Structure 1
Amino acid sequence: MDTGLQNEIIQQLKVKPHIHPQAEIRTRVNFLKEFLEKNHAIKGFVLGISGGQDSTLVAKLAQIAINEKNRENGNNHYKFIAVRLPYGVQVDERDCQDALVYIQPNVLYRVNIKQSVDASVAALRSAGVVISDFIKGNEKARERMKVQYSIAAVNHCVVLGTNNSAEFLTGYFTKHGDGACDLEPIFGLNKRQGKELLKALKCPSHLYLKRPTADLEDDAPNLEDEISLGVTYEEIDDYLEGKVVSKQTSSMLEKYFLKSEHKRKAPKTIYDY
């Protein structure tokens, strides 16, 4: 089997075949702390909390970093701001509340995006543009990120991203939605490695063992990522760790990677051609 592109992808996405969870936790907490040390005007981090594995992990790492910085400085200069961003009533709201209890954020905002998203959909319709439920899902993701940036601006903070390398491989994120952020603390980890970090951080297991869902489509509010992608995270993680996967799986993942390249790149200029 030709593994040339697989090796190239692994190199780009920085996934290791094996990790030491505590070492990864320390490296990523230090990354966040060092960012604050080098950017004195920044007072903390903002992140939307979905109740899923990735936002729970990033939020916990951020809160640890903030707590350590404040202890080291002997003050409460820095803060982590968690944001709940439901569209109406979220199906797994209980998980979101459990995640918040676990994270213990310094500040919590709740902004229901339903009115804004519905107004945008209505405005498009009045202009003769009727969008699908799938595209409306992207509207939700972008509205959530817009809110996070507004909150970050008011509080002199930056926005954290939650994309791991499994999502970077497949392009399973919304461009300028959950793909827009200032820092990506869990880049380089695949899905199972994120679970290892949360287990080491004593996270309630139901928050990282639950089936991942994007929760963007009205017609399929709990559509599982693996069903949407047509491939399991176990297979994606095996691929990213350099293991042998089926030819069909390899081909599918590489098509996803090549098709979604534009999501991982900065906008093109005349100097790129």
Structure 2
Amino acid sequence: MRTLLIGLLLCCSGLAQAAVQTREMPYTGADGTQLIGYFAWDDAITGKRPGVIVVHEWWGLNDYAKRRARDLAALGYSALAIDMYGDGKHTEHPKNAMAFMNAALANSAVAKARFETGLELLKAQPQTDASRLAAIGYCFGGKVVLDMARQGVPLAAVVSFHGALVTATPATPGSVKAKVLVEHGAADSMVKPQQVADFKQEFDKAGVDYRFVSLPGAKHSFSNPGADAHQGHGLDVGYQKEADERSWADMQALFKQVFAD
């Protein structure tokens, strides 16, 4: 009996352990920059599954971006948080974040190449169904995934969470292949109302299949529980649980739609 009880306890303990696995994946950008991705998958799932790219906030490839990759893996996706800055660097200071972001966006061709290199890395993983791909991004990353959609990167869907909406490469009729979801905080002072209006006009004119969700009372960075810690830097940001949960649910609904068998 004692042996049986021990066996049951060990079995239950094993079942309680997370099936999500992760590993860092060094790779090289087209411009020679050394990059470090963070790959997550559920090893309890057999066979290939849709792949999702995660693009970090302007802070860089930090724990929050990695957590979102794990969250996606737990939902049954093959997820890769890519590195848009190089060497996996990240910061907690807005001045450094601004410098990193501006450098990454200085050359749109390089930015696109870094994204596409990450996408090819995700496609090459044995867990990934390379025919079913999507991308999500936060803040800076939201802008990146929207720009990738604008530039015709072959993705089934892109989701922007409190992302910047301005662009140097507007969508044109037929350029966007992905279904687009924008989760925007209605109280986001970093994205001006005119920018929202211009974005909607741009996507309407281009005939993009998109949905724009304005989340009541939500500020910039509404999805990140660590956002409140940055208020000390004078940033008008803040976490909102309701907006976080609703936007994540919206994303899941879109993915179920585009990845339906």
For the criterion TM > 0.5, the same-fold answer is no
Greater helix percent: which structure? 1
Greater strand percent: which structure? 2
TM-score (norm 1): 0.28
Taking CA–CA contacts closer than 8 Å with sequence separation of 6 or more, which of the two structures ends up with the larger relative contact order? 1
